[in-house]
Amino acid sequence: MTYDPSNIFAKILAGDIPAHKVFEDDSALVMMDIFPQSRGHTLVIPKAASRNLLDADPAVLSAVMPLVQRVARAAKAATGADGVRVAQFNEAPAGQTVFHLHFHVIPVFDGVALGTHGGGQADNAELATLAQAIAAAL
The residues carrying an active-site annotation are 102
Binding mask 91-110 for ligand 5GP (x = CB under 6 A): ----xxxx------------
Closest residue to ligand 5GP in the complex (CB): 35
From the number of C-beta atoms within 10 Å of its C-beta (0-12, 13-18, 19+), residue 8 rates as middle
Residues in contact with ligand 5GP, shown as a per-residue x/- string from 50 to 89 under the rule CB under 6 A: ---------------------------------------x
**By the rule CB under 6 A, 124 interacts with ligand 5GP:** no
Answer for which of 8, 48, 53, 61 binds ligand 5GP (CB under 6 A) is 8
Least Cβ distance, residue 14 to ligand 5GP (angstroms): 13
Sign of CA dihedral 109, 112, 116, 122: negative
Q: Which is nearer to ligand 5GP, 92 or 112 (CB)?
A: 92
132 lies in the binding site for ligand 5GP (CB under 6 A): no
Distance from chain centroid for Cα 27:
14
- If we measure between CA atoms, which residue out of 4, 8, 29 comes closest to residue 17? 8
Query: What is residue 29's three-state secondary structure?
Result: strand
23/69 Cα distance (integer angstroms): 13
Question: Greatest CA separation found in the chain?
Answer: 41
Residues of the shown chain interacting with ligand 5GP in the complex, contacts defined by CB under 6 A: 8, 19, 31-35, 89, 95-98, 118
